[in-house]
Amino acid sequence: MTRTEKVFLAILSALLAATLAADLLGPSCSDERPEPLEVAAYYAQDSLEALNWTRLTFLDSLSRGRLDTVIIPYRKYFVECADSIGWDWHMLAALSYHESKFDLNAVSRKGAVGLMQVTPPTAGHYGIYDLHDPRQNILAGALNIKNMVWRYRRIAADENELFKFTMAAYNAGAGRIKSCFEYAAERGIEPHYWDEIGALIPDMEDFKGVETIDYVDTMEEVYGLFRQIK
């Protein structure tokens, strides 16, 4: 056998061995996710695979009325924690979807962590230290909301306005919203409606609150969709 023939056989043997190994081991790991057979495959269970579907058309399914296809990850914790503060669990779930797309490992540029995007100092204020535990994360978010509800209940004109003030504070921080009230007071305004605050924000020098105004509007829409879930 010539040297060329030996080299050819060696290459052929290597190729066959690689093919056999691939068949035995199956497809290699990658970041690619399998395409769903149908939209109904969003969340089969509270698992990593289930959470991988969150970046698909979840809200599109709701808006089309396909409520039978929607399963909320960690639903039992949303219900439990919402009950503990006297609020609707759909609101907590909607907030988590808007904040993190139900991603327990999400971390924002400002250091907010997990499902409810709570910062460690805020969670620590409520005696919660494991923000990668789904129940503790949701509870931290719920307790933060409870604190904000207490702040704005005597101010808001009704429950809907209370929701708006609370969402604004969740996004911008209670300190920022306090500055908005102080700015309104300087102009002789005692706002009981979020739109009254929203109208003043563009004139404020120390708070560019366009993002917060959009946040409140979006949360109204998302919450409206989530409330359809049985």
* 3 state SS of 127: coil
| Active-site residue, 99 included | yes
Q: How many CB atoms lie within 10 A of CB 20?
A: 10
Active-site position among 99, 159, 220, 221: 99
Tokens of 12: 């052929």
Do the Cβ atoms of 117 and 107 come closer than 8 Å? no
In residues, how long is the chain? 230
The rounded distance, in Å, linking the Cα atoms of 81 and 140 is 9
CB of 201 closer than 8 Å to CB of 180: yes
End-to-end, the C-alpha distance of the chain in Å comes to 75
Cα–Cα distances in angstroms (integers) from residue 78 to residues 25, 32, 66, 83, 94, in the given order: 40, 30, 21, 8, 10
Which amino acid, one-letter code, is at 130?
D
87 within 8 A of 93, measured Cβ to Cβ: no
Q: What is the rounded CA–CA span in Å between residue 108 and residue 99?
A: 10
- Evaluate the CA torsion angle 99, 107, 208, 194 in order and state its sign: positive
Would you please indicate which residues are annotated as catalytic (active-site) residues?
99
